Structures are given as structure tokens and as C-alpha cells.
Amino acid sequence: MTKPAILALEDGSIFRGESIGADGATSGEVVFNTAMTGYQEILTDPSYTRQMVTLTYPHIGNTGTNPEDVESDRICAAGLIIRDLPLLASNWRRTDSLSDYLQRENVVAIAGVDTRRLTRLLRNKGAQGGAIVAGDNASEEEALRLARDFPGIKGMDLASEAGCKEPRTWTQSVWTLDEGYGEAPEKRYRVVAYDYGIKYNILRLLVSRGCEVTLVPARTPLGEVMAYNPDGVFFSNGPGDPEPCDYAVEALKGCIERHIPTFGICLGHQLLGLAVGGRSEKMKFGHHGANHPVERVADGTVVITSQNHGFAVDEKSLPDNVEVTYRSLFDGTLQGMRLKDAPVFSFQGHPEASPGPRDVIPLFDEFTRLMDEHQATQAAQ
Ligand SMILES: NC(=O)CC[C@H](N)C(=O)O
């Protein structure tokens, strides 16, 4: 027996459908993601904390779920909104159906929604506060009240909570058909990664390039990070607004001053923008998908990228020592930068590509190249 579920938006829109997850209520910012595959990686991406995701691809759940295609140890999205959950979930790695997975993880989710209408609405009006209520007692009034009570992501520091609470090491390497997730190759670089809700595939790609990776909690002072004697420092993706994350901006400024090889992805990129004195701003509906064309400014090459962000760094606010390396071909917003006077660079989209295309994975090799140079300079001293 299916149970009813209701989605309400702060603008008063109501969508009725059926519950495919836990009973109960949830609220958050509603964003649309255009990726056709990768729903499990999307749900477990910590950057979706306090956001409810609607997927524009109509059939979600076709391949069920498995314990491997995860980007963290839990579902982080506040809710899921889809058009259609197929009756059959089929894949050789499948251990659960999407619906069982959502229920086990206690996540409220709704199917049977006209996701085209919803997405057009979000595109026109911008990301909206919303709420899903699910179960036999679901009421429109409650959904509307919760949707309107959601205060919005702007100004929210969620990055200090989403990551690890204690330092920890990471050893899992990338997934291959023969071996599954493999063991680390020989270690050549010591990397400390600030964990604001880091996606696992970033860690796997670092490990597969010979990095010995230590994760540290968001508020770890840079002095403690330096005690690891790192060859490079990584600033992770993460949820919420970058602007209130002054602790992270401080740490990044310290890396720039010390000329440590530094790489930032998504939230890490936005923190770099703030650390050099730039501004971040909330976007209308953000970038969430797996097919976003981005231009590499140096040679005009187009790369197809995975994206998940609702804030952006305003290019006009950047000082002269910043070189713009990538721009979105959808809306011209800043997608990548490097400093001309320090081994520090960042990317707004998701080179770790999980889910998504792998065109910008070579940015991880750029990081190891900077660490090679740094090691050579240190050895010469
Ligand atoms: N994936 C991310 O790191 C997202 C960064 C930030 N929370 C944003 O929405 O823009």
C-alpha cells in the first residue's frame, strides 16, 4: 500500500504524490539536478545538507542501491523528489531498492511529482524553501508552514558540522571492475584535507595518486595542520554558505602566506575567493548536474563537468594576482582560478566526477605536480 506525500514550496505551490521513503516531515532548500544517473552519489553528497533534491530525469531507482556508490557514510540530502520510481530495480551490484534504502536511512521522499513543472518553477523563481510531509496524516497546511519556516541557506554555516569530528586517515583508492575499491599505491605525498563534508571520491583520487591523506575537522587551526608537515593542503566541498566560514578562510590565507601547495574544490574554491579578498554571492538556482560545459580559458577547450553549488565567487571582486582558469559556458560564472604568486588553485565544479564526467580529473595531477615542485624546492634548501 502506498502512502500519500505532499511537497509544498514557500511560494505556495503544492505537489501531491506518494511517499517512497520514511514517514514524517522534512524541510530545506529545493534544488533541481539534471544528472541522468548517480542518484545514490547525489543523495550521499554532504554538500546537499539542508537541501531537498529533485531529479529532472524521470525514472529514478532503476538500478537500486548498493553499499559502494556512496560519497559519505549516510544520506545527506534533506529529501528526494522524483517523477517515477520504477517497479523493478535491477543491477548485479544491487543490494536494496531505492525505497528500502530511503526508509532505512529515515529520509522523507516523494514520487509522482510533475518534476518538469517543479523545475520550471525553480528556474523562474530561483531555489525555494520547501517541505515534504509523508504518511497517512500528511497535510497541506503542515507542509506549507514548514516550507515557509525554512530560513534559507544564505548565511548558514553548515561546513563546520558536516565533516569529521576527529582527525582520521583515509586509505581507500579508486574503484575498478577487477578489484572494486583498491588499496593505496606507494605513498609519495602527505596531504592534509580540511573536511567540510568531503566526498569520498576526492579522497580516493588523491590516494590513487600516492597521497597519504589525513582528514581534519573544519575548525582545526592551521598550526595543527602544519604539524603533519604536509606537502599539500586540500580544502573540500561542503554544504552551506561560504561567507560565515571565517575559520576556513583564515586557514586558507595561512596556506597562501606559507606557499604550501593548496587545492580547493567547490566550497574550497569559494573559500579561496574569500581568502584573496573576493566576494561570494548566492546564485538564483545554482548549478546541479553532470553535463555542464565549462571553458578552460587558457586554450578555449570545453570540458563537460559535474556541478553542485548554489553560491559563486564574483569574478569582478578578485584581485590582480588571481588568474581565471575556467568559466561556465552556461552563465559565464567563475569556475576555476589560480594564484599567480603562490601554488594555490581551485575549481568550482566537481573534478572527482562521482557522479559525472571525468574531463577535469587531471586537476588532481596538477595538485601532485605542485607538490613535486614543492618537494624539490625543499630538498634543494
Ligand atoms: N558542493 C559544494 O561544495 C557546494 C558549496 C556551497 N555549499 C554551495 O552551495 O555553493
> Can you give the pLDDT at residue 182?
76
Say if residue 126 is in the same domain as residue 214.
no
Say if residue 307 is in the same domain as residue 192.
yes
Say if residue 187 is in the same domain as residue 318.
yes
Provide the CATH number for the domain around residue 56. 3.50.30.20
* pLDDT tens track for 322-377: 999 999 999 999 999 999 999 999 999 999 999 999 999 999 999 999 999 999 99
Flag whether 175 is in a domain: yes
Spatial separation of the C-alpha atoms in residues 206 and 132, rounded to whole Å = 37
**Last residue of some domain: 130, 149, 168?**
149
Spatial separation of the C-alpha atoms in residues 376 and 212, rounded to whole Å = 18
**Residue 299 DSSP class:** T
Say if residue 131 is in the same domain as residue 194.
no
310 annotated as ligand-binding = yes
**Active site annotation includes 59:** no
Reference 4, options 12, 14, 13; nearest CA is 14
Distant-in-sequence, close-in-space partners of 108: CB < 8 Å, separation ≥ 6:
5, 19, 21, 22, 23, 24, 25, 26, 79, 132, 133, 134
Ligand 1 contacts CB of residue 199 (under 6 A): no
**Residue 228 DSSP class:** T
Spatial separation of the C-alpha atoms in residues 232 and 62, rounded to whole Å = 40
Ligand 1 contacts CB of residue 308 (under 6 A): yes
**Last residue of some domain: 121, 149, 177?**
149
Say if residue 124 is in the same domain as residue 234.
no
Ligand 1 contacts CB of residue 238 (under 6 A): yes
Domain that holds residue 55: 4-149
Say if residue 88 is in the same domain as residue 171.
no
Say if residue 299 is in the same domain as residue 163.
yes
Say if residue 112 is in the same domain as residue 218.
no
**Last residue of some domain: 91, 120, 149?**
149
Flag whether 101 is in a domain: yes
| 74 CA distance to ligand 1 middle (Å) | 18
Say if residue 135 is in the same domain as residue 168.
no
Q: Which atom of ligand 1 is nearest to the CA of 45?
A: 1
Say if residue 295 is in the same domain as residue 271.
yes
Q: What is the CA 151 to chain-centroid distance, rounded?
A: 21
Say if residue 179 is in the same domain as residue 247.
yes
Spatial separation of the C-alpha atoms in residues 89 and 263, rounded to whole Å = 38
* pLDDT tens track for 187-234: 999 999 999 999 999 999 999 999 999 999 999 999 999 999 999 999
Domain total for the chain?
A: 2
311 annotated as ligand-binding = yes
* pLDDT tens track for 63-90: 999 999 999 999 999 999 999 999 999 9
Query: What is the per-residue DSSP string for 36-66?
Result: SS-HHHHHT-GGGBTEEEEESSSB--TT-B-
State the Rg of the chain over Cα: 21
98 in Cβ contact with 64 (< 8 Å) = yes
Flag whether 90 is in a domain: yes
Ligand 1 contacts CB of residue 237 (under 6 A): yes
Provide the CATH number for the domain around residue 295. 3.40.50.880
Secondary structure (3-state) at 81: strand
**Active site annotation includes 350:** yes
Flag whether 221 is in a domain: yes
Which of 41, 212, 352, 366 is flagged as catalytic? Answer: 352
> Can you give the pLDDT at residue 184?
76
Which of 266, 287, 292, 366 is flagged as catalytic? Answer: 266
Complex confidence, ipTM: 0.98
| The pLDDT of residue 177 is above 80 | no
Per-residue pLDDT band at 176 (split at 50, 70, 90): confident
Ligand 1 contacts CB of residue 239 (under 6 A): yes
Say if residue 116 is in the same domain as residue 207.
no
Flag whether 154 is in a domain: no
> Can you give the pLDDT at residue 169?
97
335 annotated as ligand-binding = no
